[in-house]
């Protein structure tokens, strides 16, 4: 279901991310004649990311204090998720509700057989059935597209780059006779910043994919566009607290759960809401002409 250019963009961003990592390795190799530190940090990054990837559903559910619901407790939610799962020929995920009035939703899990969908109480009250269906289509596509794996790999590489950059900054480039100290400092400062921006760009690209693919699944892009408008207003009225555990899982949510500011917009894991809405409206226009 992916738009071809979005897949290419993600691949290109990963290429740049790995290029930054190799550049750091070259700086370390020049200064110390050994790249052992970068391999050590890579192994640590892979280990911690593997744990997070394997337990992504539990970590996200716990961060939102979500509780499981039965079909008797949330019949509409079950009906929509079951219909979309059948349409996508995928297994039914576990369903949770988070006890907060902040309107948001997310889906997580390492694969469709180990997936969970979570809606906040706020979003269930805010949206009508059609809009909720649009949101759930978006969230399920994150699981079907294996976006948890994509974001985990991006986070692992970015984390290694940040750690190695800090090592360079605090411990220098090794043999001062073979290393340019200014270049070492510049690399130590700029590489983590670049890695963070690339990681954010990958997250934003996957959001566009989920918008498009989810709308293809539901056949109703305007429903998601309407939901996003309501959610954006709702988040401004009832934002989530910027606790670290919520910040760590905020990239999974349908919308940035924090109140917008100039700084949060720069480092947001989601594309601008108005741009997402306009893309969905164009998608609906194309569908009506076919």
Closest CA to 195 of 230, 146, 223, 154: 154
- Pairing verdict, β 116-120 and 105-108: antiparallel
Are 77 and 69 a contacting pair, CB within 8 Å? yes
The whole-angstrom separation of Cα 91 and Cα 110 is 13
Q: Which helix (H) or strand (E) holds 125?
A: helix 121-126
Q: Out of 139, 207, 212, 232, which one is annotated catalytic? A: 139
Q: What is the H or E stretch that residue 96 is in?
A: strand 94-98
Closest Cα partner for 144 from 105, 96, 97, 89? 89
Core vs surface per residue 56-83: b (16+ CB within 10 A) or e: bbebbbebbebeebeeeebeebbebbee
**139 flagged as catalytic:** yes
Can you tell me the distance from the alpha carbon of 43 to that of 37, in angstroms, rounded to the nearest whole number?
Answer: 10
From CA 170, how far away is CA 185, in angstroms rounded? 9
Q: Is 274 exposed, middle or buried (0-12, 13-18, 19+ CB in 10 A)?
A: exposed
SS3 105: strand
Residues involved in catalysis? 139
């Amino acid at each position: 279901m992916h738009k071809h250019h979005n897949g290419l963009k993600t691949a290109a961003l990963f290429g740049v991310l790995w290029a930054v990592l190799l550049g750091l390795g070259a700086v370390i190799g020049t200064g110390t004649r050994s790249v052992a530190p970068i391999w050590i940090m890579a192994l640590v990054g892979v280990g911690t990311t593997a744990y997070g990837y394997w337990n992504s559903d539990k970590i996200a559910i716990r961060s939102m204090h979500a509780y499981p619901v039965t079909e008797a407790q949330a019949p509409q939610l079950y009906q929509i998720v079951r219909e979309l799962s059948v349409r996508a020929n995928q297994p039914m995920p576990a369903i949770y509700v988070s006890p907060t009035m902040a309107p948001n939703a997310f889906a997580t899990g390492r694969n469709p057989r180990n997936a969970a969908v979570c809606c906040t109480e706020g979003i269930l009250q805010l949206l009508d059935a059609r809009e909720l269906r649009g949101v759930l289509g978006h969230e399920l596509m994150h699981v079907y597209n294996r976006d948890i794996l994509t974001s985990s790999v991006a986070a692992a590489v970015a984390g290694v780059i940040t750690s190695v950059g800090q090592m360079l900054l605090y411990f220098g480039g090794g043999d001062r006779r073979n290393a340019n100290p200014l270049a070492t400092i510049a690399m130590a400062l700029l590489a983590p910043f670049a890695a963070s921006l690339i990681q954010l760009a990958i997250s934003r690209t996957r959001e566009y994919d989920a918008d498009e693919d989810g709308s293809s699944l539901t056949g109703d892009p305007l429903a998601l566009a309407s939901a996003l408008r309501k959610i954006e207003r709702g988040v401004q009225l009832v934002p989530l607290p910027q606790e670290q555990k919520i910040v760590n899982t905020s990239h999974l949510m349908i919308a940035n759960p924090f109140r917008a500011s100039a700084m949060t917009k720069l480092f947001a894991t989601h594309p601008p809401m108005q741009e997402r809405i306009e893309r969905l409206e164009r998608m609906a226009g194309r569908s009506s002409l076919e």
